[in-house]
């Protein structure tokens, strides 16, 4: 799911963080959930490329310049392989306590996923064809 970060931010809520002052929320969309069904994980890279390509297309159509998301450290490295503009977001913990409904809602996912890295990447930094061709080059190199 893609969200307008100026309206709602599941990733910042999950991390119990405030948006950094230098992040323009009016031009940022947020990837709230990206999941690959277990039976498709053998071809996860191909599925991931397709998902990223569609997210980038939808983001450009919406006028977004950045995408914000969170993931485990290994998944962050996967994103960065497909879009080298991926960079960590240093967001400060919210000064007020986390609302009870957030604490209850996120308790189970936090137990399953553990520590998350917040990061953004530039929509213009990976046009769909660039994402796909970078994937093909990586795959071809791996077969040699």
| Predicted confidence (pLDDT) per residue in 78-126, tens digit | 778 778 889 999 888 877 776 677 666 565 665 656 678 888 988 876 6
- Give the model confidence (pLDDT) of 21-40 as tens digits: 899 999 999 987 666 677 76
What is the structure's pLDDT at 106?
61
pLDDT digits (tens, 9 = 90+) for 41-58: 666 667 767 777 787 888
Whole-number mean pLDDT of the chain? Answer: 78
Per DSSP, 63 falls in state T
Alpha-carbon distance of 113 to 14, in angstroms, equals 11
Task: Retrieve residue 7's tokens.
Answer: 């309206």
Q: Which helix (H) or strand (E) holds 36?
A: none
- pLDDT of res. 29: 92
* CA neighbours closer than 13 Å in the CB half-sphere of residue 138: 13
Query: In the chain, how long is the greatest CA-to-CA distance?
Result: 54
């Amino acid at each position: 799911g893609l969200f307008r970060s100026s309206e709602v931010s599941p990733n910042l809520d999950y991390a119990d963080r405030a948006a950094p002052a230098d992040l323009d929320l009016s031009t940022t969309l947020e990837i709230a959930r990206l999941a690959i069904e277990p039976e498709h994980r053998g071809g996860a890279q191909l599925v991931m490329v397709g998902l990223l390509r569609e997210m980038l297309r939808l983001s450009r159509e919406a006028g977004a310049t950045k995408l914000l998301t969170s993931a485990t450290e290994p998944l962050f490295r996967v994103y960065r392989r497909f879009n080298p503009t991926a960079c960590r977001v240093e967001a400060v913990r919210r000064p007020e306590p986390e609302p009870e409904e957030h604490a209850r809602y996120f308790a189970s996912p936090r137990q399953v996923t553990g520590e998350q890295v917040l990061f953004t990447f530039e929509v213009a930094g990976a046009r769909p064809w660039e994402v796909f061709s970078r994937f093909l080059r990586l795959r071809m190199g791996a077969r040699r």
